[in-house]
Homo-oligomer: A and B are copies of this chain.
Amino acid sequence: MDNVNYMNEPKLFRQKVRSGKWNKPTFNVCREYVQANLVILPKRFAFDFTLFCLRNPKPCPIIEILEAGKYKTKYLSREADIRTDIPKYMIYKDGELVKECESIVEYWKDDLVSFLIGCSYTFEEALVRAGIPLSNSNAGKDVSVYITNVQLVPAGIFKGRMVVTMRPLPPILVSRAVQVTYRFPKTHGTPVHIGPGSEIGIENIHNVDFGDPPIINDRDIEVYWGCGVTPQIVALESKVPFMITHKQAHMFVSDLRIEEIAES
């Protein structure tokens, strides 16, 4: 019963995370609610990183930015603390991982700007409601994630390639998947590529860069969406002197219901 509650109520789920009782991935957690990627950078990089995200909205849709020094969200939740409410964090110095941890309170500085960026976990529930089967999710697996060869529009020191998620779908449902995700530009919106991954530099779809390999049925078409791992990898490759992110698949679970983030 306790289990049921925290799996469906973000506030209870974040309490569990905050008290160190959940340090696992968040797919299938609080499926009615918006989840978000986290990137934290020193203020002097914040404007250029914002520009990078705005120029590449499909992989990097900004949901909320917290001004330098602020660690309480306002829009995604009225009570969350992004220093403690995410199951796992990664701390990078000069592009190198120096620490994986479950709280960043001791690393917090007043010049840090936090970016909460859309996550496709959010629209999975919308797809399911629309009768679109998600083979990996149904099998309790994470979505398949790939680094493509698609170059993004640069801004300042930030440049790099698009990361994508892929969901294999029956051809008859592809149009519906486009229509459903069109309503959710803040969680990557419509697919960026529909068809063979080889055209965007994915040699072998069974060879994922993150997540789990895809479960593909005969005749399924590959449908690719921008992925919120993109801004994280781009910031990493830019070798910013200091950066904190969530650990891939360990998302911020917000209090916003999916419908509240739909374009209206």
Q: Which residues of B sit under 8 angstroms from A189, Cβ to Cβ?
A: 263
Contact of A155 among B46, B55, B67, B155 (CB under 8 A): B67
Contact residues on A (Cβ < 8 Å of other chain), bracket = 20 to 34
Contact with B along A174-194 (1 / 0, CB 8 A): 000000001001000110000
A233 in the interface, Cβ–Cβ < 8 Å? no
Q: Is A264 an interface residue (CB 8 A)?
A: yes
Q: Which residues of B contact A185 (CB under 8 A)?
A: 185, 263
Cα distance A182–B183 when bound, in Å? Answer: 10
Nearest B residue to A47 via CB reads B47
> Is A162 part of the contact surface with B, judged by Cβ < 8 Å?
no
Scoring A residues 32 to 68 as 1 if CB is less than 8 Å from chain B, else 0, what string do you get?
A: 0000000000010011101100110000001001010
Q: Does A195 contact B (CB under 8 A)?
A: no
From A47, A67, A75, A155, name the one whose CB has the most chain B CB atoms within 10 angstroms.
A47
Tell me the bound Cα distance from A93 to B135 in angstroms: 59
A131-186 residues at the B interface, CB under 8 angstroms: 155-156, 182, 185
User: Hey, which bits of chain A sit against chain B, CB under 8 A?
Assistant: 43, 46-48, 50-51, 54-55, 62, 65, 67, 75, 155-156, 182, 185, 189-190, 263-264
